[in-house]
Amino acid sequence: MIILGINSAYHESSAALIVDGKLACFIEEERINRFKHGKPAQIDNPHVLPEGAIEGCLAFAGLKVSDIDCFAYSFSQSGRLQNIGVDEHLTPGMWGTREGEMVFHQNLQRVPDELAKIVGSYRHDRLVWIDHHLAHAASAFYCSPFADALVMVIDGIGEFDSISVYRGRENSLEKVFSLPYPHSLGFLWEKFCTYLGFSEHDACKLMGLSSYGNPEVLADRFRQVAWLDSETLFKVDNNVTRFRSADMSGLEALFGPARHRDQAISVEHRNLAAALQQFTEKVLLQLCQKMQALGPFDHLCLAGGTALNCVANAMMQQHGGFKEIYIQPAANDAGSAIGAALQVWCGVLGNQRQFVMNHALWGPEYSDAQIEEAIAQTMFAAEKVADPAAIAAALINEGKIVGWFQGRMETGPRALGNRSLLADPRRKDMRDILNRKIKHREDFRPFAPSVLAEAAEDWFEIPQRSLAGGFMLYAYPARPGKAEQIPAVVHVDKTSRIQTVDRAVNPRYHKLISEFARLSQVPMVLNTSFNDSEPIVMTPADAISTFARTGIDALFLGNYLIKRSENA
Report the C-alpha gap between 449 and 485 in whole angstroms.
Answer: 13
Report the C-alpha gap between 224 and 280 in whole angstroms.
Answer: 15
Torsion of CA 510, 512, 518, 520, to 10 degrees: -110
Q: Is 11 a catalytic residue?
A: yes
Of 517, 499, 502, the C-alpha closest to 460 is 499
The CB-side HSE value for 517 (13 A sphere, CA atoms) comes to 17
Side by side, which strands form the sheet with 448-452? 383-384, 560-563, 554-557, 402-405, 419-423, 524-529, 448-452, 495-501, 474-477
Burial letters for 476-485: b for 16+ Cβ neighbours within 10 Å, e otherwise? bbbeeebbee
Report the C-alpha gap between 333 and 390 in whole angstroms.
Answer: 37
Q: How far is CA 344 from the centre of its chain?
A: 23
Of 28, 11, 17, the C-alpha closest to 305 is 11
Burial letters for 282-310: b for 16+ Cβ neighbours within 10 Å, e otherwise? bbbbebbeebeeeeebebbbbbbbbbbbb
> Under a CB-based contact definition with an 8 Å cutoff, are residues 302 and 467 in contact?
no
Report the C-alpha gap between 355 and 17 in whole angstroms.
Answer: 13
Q: Round the CA-based radius of gyration of the chain to a whole number and report it.
A: 23
Task: Supply the residues annotated as catalytic.
Answer: 11
